Structures are given as structure tokens and as C-alpha cells.
Amino acid sequence: MNNPVEALPTLSDQLKIRSLEVKGAEGPLAARLYTSGDAGAKRDMLLVFFHAGGFVGGDLEDADMFLRHLADDSQHVAVLASAYTLATEKPFPAAVEDAHAVLLWAKKNKAKLGWSGKQLLVAGIEAGANLAAVCALMARDRGGPLLAGQILVMPMLDPGLTTCSMRELQAPELLDVADACAKAYRGYLPNAADRTHPYASPLQSSRLKNLPPALILSTEDDPLRDEAEQYGAKLISCGVKTTVRRMQPAPLNDVGARNECACRCQALGEIASFIAGLERSETPPAA
């Protein structure tokens, strides 16, 4: 799907979506499980997804269409989309602690998810991609769960907002997106000292070795573009198998538009290829 405005294919009638609760760091969180294909089959791969919204907004509905197509395109993969504590309720590190707790919950509840336990991936868009990247760090630092891969779609990784793409894209609508990022970080990281913490700003981390393979997707005209690509370069320099792709320009009239962009750009194809590569090099069951 190379054209950002290309119509999406029709979803199959085998797609199933189930609402459920998962366990966050301090209590239950709303979640949705997306599967397609044989309803009774156990999937060898579970992809845990976190939504966009700049840490201060967003919900499970935002990326629903993207996740429907992702699950339908990868019928052997179960997709678990989870909510997390927004910064309007509690700032950092509440969201990342929730995200890691959801991975631990998934590992303990394989039967409920129809997952064999063989491969666990983490993914997200924008703020959710920050949480996905941080989950990879936390899983490494805390001894699990073992991740087979991380998928970061237009990630927010630099609270300092220092990259060239953040400062130099001058179109009025892109300035609005950059301003929204700055406002989001003020809500998420009210303590300025937290802005250099690796669990808030993975781009600033000096310890990026021994992380799972990564797929990082940016877009040509996104203020977040450079931080995504810089993070990919840092992962590669630390020996992490990493694929970085810059997608075609797409309208980003507001932060929420990244969900639509991910759905209609070539993101789904890139993710499918990345997942296929992980299946060919299957990791041991999640620890």
C-alpha cells in the first residue's frame, strides 16, 4: 500500500474482536483482543499494542481500524490492544509501569488469549510506541518477559524536542503537531529531571544493547521523523537487528492523524514483512 490515500482492502468475516480486562501496575485496564482465521487455533505470536494520544489522551478506539487490518492480514498473530494510565490521571512513570505489567499479565494468561506463549511482540503508535520501546528496555532490565520484537510506528522518543525535523518543518499544520507534542510532554513529564530518564526518553539511553529486533517506521513530513530514525541508528550501532523505514508523506493535521496515516501508508505491509522474518527465526517461549 504505497499510496497514502489508497482505499483499504475489505476485512474478512473471520475477524473477531473481544473486549476484556488486563492487569496494569495498579489495577485493571480495558483491552481488546483481535484475531482472524480459525477461532479455535492457538496463535504462536502475540502482539501487545499501545495506543497514541501523546500520553494525555487517546483510547482503544483510536487505532481500531489499523488493528483490525493488522490482525486480518496476519491471521496467525493475536493482537492485544491495552489501555494505560494517562498522564491526566498520573504522570510518568505510571504509563510505562502499566505497559510492562500488561506484558507480564499476558505471559500468565496465555490460555485466555489463545496464545501458545512462543513469541511476544510489543508495538505502538506515537506515545504508544514510546511505551513499546520502553517495555523492551524494562523487560531486559527486569529479566522478562522475553520479547521477540518491537514495532515502533512514528514514535515519540525525545522529550527535549531537539531534532531537526521537530524544529525545521514549518508548515502551519506541522507546527500545530509539534506544539501538541510539547504540550503532551509537559503533562507526561511535569518533573523536568525525568525528561532524561531512559524510561521516558529511550533516545537518551546509553544502554541499548541486548534488545529485541526492531521495526521503526517514520514518515517524510512528520516532526517525529528524525527521532525515530536516530533511535534506529543507535540500536543498529549497539548490535540490535533493526529495520528503519521512512514512509511517504501523509496528511498529519493533528496528532491523532497518525493512526490514519499508519493504516493507509505502507505500515501494514512493513509490519507483515517484519513479523514474517521473526517467524522464520523463532525465539524460545517468553520467559
54: confidence class by pLDDT, cuts 50, 70, 90? very high
Q: Give the CATH superfamily of 16-277.
A: Alpha/Beta hydrolase fold, catalytic domain (3.40.50.1820)
Is it the case that residue 2 has pLDDT exceeding 50? Answer: no
Give the span between the Cα atoms of 275 and 267, in whole angstroms: 12
Q: How many CB atoms lie within 10 A of CB 285?
A: 15
Give the span between the Cα atoms of 202 and 197, in whole angstroms: 8
Q: Of 80-94, 151-165, 253-267, which range is least confident?
A: 253-267
What is the pLDDT averaged over residues 93-106? 98
What is the pLDDT averaged over residues 157-180? 70
Predicted local distance difference test score (pLDDT) of residue 10: 79
Q: By the 8 A CB rule, do 119 and 110 touch?
A: no
Sheet holding 149-153, edge to edge: 16-23, 28-35, 77-82, 43-50, 115-125, 149-153, 214-219, 242-247
Predicted local distance difference test score (pLDDT) of residue 258: 61
**DSSP 8-state class, residue 12:** P
Give the span between the Cα atoms of 124 and 99, in whole angstroms: 11
Domain-by-domain residue ranges, the chain? 16-277
Give the span between the Cα atoms of 258 and 251, in whole angstroms: 9
Q: Of 59-68, 140-149, 161-170, 198-207, which range is least confident?
A: 161-170
SS (H, E, C) 114-154: CEEEEEEEEEEECHHHHHHHHHHHHHHHCCCCCCCEEEEEC
The better pLDDT of the pair 180, 200 is held by 200
Predicted local distance difference test score (pLDDT) of residue 40: 79
What is the pLDDT averaged over residues 154-164? 83
87: confidence class by pLDDT, cuts 50, 70, 90? very high
What is the pLDDT averaged over residues 10-30? 93
Q: Of 89-93, 277-281, 282-286, which range is least confident?
A: 282-286
**DSSP 8-state class, residue 7:** P
| pTM greater than the 0.95 cutoff | no
